[in-house]
Amino acid sequence: MRKKIETAILVSTLILGIWGVFMVFVTTANTPAFSGLYLRQLAAFAIGLLLLYALRFLPYQVLEEISVFLYAVALILLVVVLFAGRELYGSRRWFNLGFFHFQPVEFAKIAVVFFAAGIIKRRGSVVFSLLPVAAMFSVIILQPDIGSALPILGAYFAMLVVSQINIRWLYKLLPFVFIMGFSLLFESYLNANDKTLMDFKYLIYPGVFSLLAIFLFREIKQVKKMLKIRHLIGVLFLFWGAIGTGYAGASMLRDYQRRRVIAFLMPEIDPLGAGYSTRQSILAVGSGRLAGKGLMEGTQTQLGFLPIRHTDFIFASVAEELGFIGASVMLGLMMFLLWQFLKIIERCDDYGGRLIAAGIFGLFITHVILNLGVTLGMLPVIGIQMPLVSYGGTGMVMFLSMIGIMLSINAKTEIIGA
């Protein structure tokens, strides 16, 4: 079984990586400024494969032992890049090393998984393990880079799910997470119309949404308990806290981020500005139909209407030129790879290895979900890669490194039923 899992992972990884390099070539060939990017992506793919091979034979416990060092280095790099990094697209995320740009947040994702997994393993505490995750998340937000920060939360949640910590109480907070998100979106909407959530008459809308959220979670026992009179004060406290947090989050958004949120809520308000990327992406996906327009024949992609088509919106390019069939094959390969990850998590009886594997799985699947959500107009535009497919040298190297770690976990730990 171990060998079968390893073979399946390697085959799907090679196909997706080659597919990614090829699609970077296809989407940039007609743009002189981008014409050499596929060679950089190919080089990153080669380097990543070497690291995958090395990490496959390196016991993952070695990285566990130096997780504190890895986390410290990652945090220092993230702080330094805020002051010495190259500014692009309104944020500082990259070190310009001449021959390539290094994005430290990609390394930080691996580092925080190992560090948080170690704390969960040793202390079994949500609070203590959440602190380093929150610190890393906060520094990344300062760049700002929401697209890279959210997968860290996805990884942490995945680790909690497979951990031995009792997290049933977290279900109590689910309605309030929804309330917080609704408040952030609603405040952004009001700001577009020169209004604010702090105007009392608008608070009725979060209130109605809150009742709906609680109704949807009515079957959860913890929520039923919350509805008892003795817990009413706590519920009200969390309710207003969620609204306040959503309001504060909307207030902290930068102008371009607020415009993206508003464009998501009201695409017609700025179709040639903040809403342009989403509209072009949806048009590209829809125009591909069943079999696509053909390689290098997509009008949205090849004529440059679709922005950053080789990175964040590469799925839209795949859908336009290869159609529903091509996009489905690509997603099928991605789901097949993630399914192998789940097999490793399920069969691994080493607690630390299972936590790390779950964290890596969380990183991958959060990237996939968010990238698809942005491409299909289901989420506001954020910069986030499709693993192994989107252009991005540091991301490609780190995703392949994570796969190498998964193979190490698969090979070095005791596997039930192997």
C-alpha separations of 230 from 24, 210, 227, 236, 237 in Å? 58, 19, 8, 11, 13
Per-residue DSSP letter, 94: E
CA distance 241 to 136: 23
Can you read off the two tokens belonging to residue 371? Answer: 């990238």
Where is average pLDDT lowest: 22-26, 27-31, 81-85, 88-92?
88-92
CA distance 222 to 218: 9
Per-residue pLDDT tens for 197-248?
A: 555 444 555 555 555 555 555 544 454 554 454 455 555 555 555 555 555 5
CA 413 to chain centre: 27
Residue with tokens 């008892």, as numbered in its chain: 228
CA distance 322 to 368: 19
Give the E-state strand segments of 26-110 in sequence order.
86-88, 91-96, 101-102
CA distance 383 to 371: 8
Q: How many residues are listed for the chain in this entry?
A: 418
Can you read off the two tokens belonging to residue 280? Answer: 């072009």
Per-residue pLDDT tens for 259-312?
A: 777 666 666 666 776 678 888 888 899 888 898 898 888 888 888 888 888 888
Per-residue pLDDT tens for 37-72?
A: 889 999 999 999 999 999 999 999 999 999 999 999
pLDDT score recorded for residue 155: 93
Q: Which amino acid is at 266?
A: M
CA distance 265 to 279: 13
pLDDT score recorded for residue 417: 43
